[in-house]
Amino acid sequence: MSREDPTIGVLALQGDVREHLAALEAGGARAVTVRRRCELEAVDGLVLPGGESTTIDRLLRVFELREALRERIGEGLPVYGSCAGMILLADRVLDGAPGQQTLGGLDVTVRRNAFGRQVDSWEEDLPLEAVTGGGPPVLGVFIRAPWVEEAGAGVQVLARLGAGPAAGRIVAVRQGDLVATSFHPEITGDDRVHRYFVDVVRDRVARTAG
């Protein structure tokens, strides 16, 4: 690693923490776990992993991280959310659990568990040209995943499903330095989504340093 490699945290309360850490390291970042406010304050970017969005929401309160994270997102912290992380970043949630709240930041409406139960998990190759640069598609692994029901005018749609009954549904978005996917790139061994996010963080660091 070089001195220019950003420090990116993975919220380590629940979910695929180890897999995200490995993908970020492969993508050129110094990856660390985040469980405390002091750890959150020390990172240049953050990953919200998949898991159970209601459980992560509850644990954010238990660890007294929720308001601190909302503040940092409001200040421009780059964040990547996969699956449950997408739900946490969304401003609006359909089919949420009673009392469920999000961190917000992305001007999107997501539908929780849009693809069904665990047994309905599936995969699809996605072009994701912003990530691949026209190279081979990214394998999207969808596990009790949300999709984006509606995206605001300032949201860049990175990928839509191309086949099946959910064809056309939005499954990857970016707004400013916030990135979210419905799927789990961290479990496929393909680090290109994480490299893309590392570049987002690196660019943010360069802008703020200037």
Higher pLDDT, 210 or 190: 190
15-56 pLDDT tens trace: 899 999 999 999 999 999 999 999 999 999 999 999 899 999
Active site positions, annotated: 83, 184, 186
Query: Does the pLDDT of residue 60 top 90, yes or no?
Result: yes
pLDDT at position 210, please? 67
pLDDT at 117 over 90: no
Residue 73 CB partners (closer than 8 Å, separation 6+): 79, 89, 103, 104, 105, 178
- How far is the first Cα of the chain from the last one, in angstroms, to the nearest whole number? 22
% of the chain with per-residue pLDDT over 70: 96
Please report the DSSP string for 113-168 in residue order. Answer: TTT-SGGG-EEEEE--HHHHTTSSPEEEEESS--EEEEE-TTPEEEEE--SSTTTT
pTM, full prediction: 0.95
As a whole number of angstroms, the longest Cα–Cα distance in the chain is 49
Domain boundaries, the chain: 7-209
Instruction: Summarize the confidence of residues 114-123 as an average pLDDT.
Output: 71
Check residue 80 and give its pLDDT: 98
pLDDT computed for residue 99 by the predictor: 83
Q: Which CATH class is domain 7-209?
A: alpha beta
187 contact partners, CB below 8 Å, separation of at least 6: 16, 19, 141
**Is it the case that residue 4 has pLDDT exceeding 90?**
no
Q: pLDDT tens digit string along 160-181?
A: 999 777 899 999 999 999 999 9
pLDDT one-digit tens code per residue, 73-103? 999 999 999 999 999 999 999 988 888 899 9
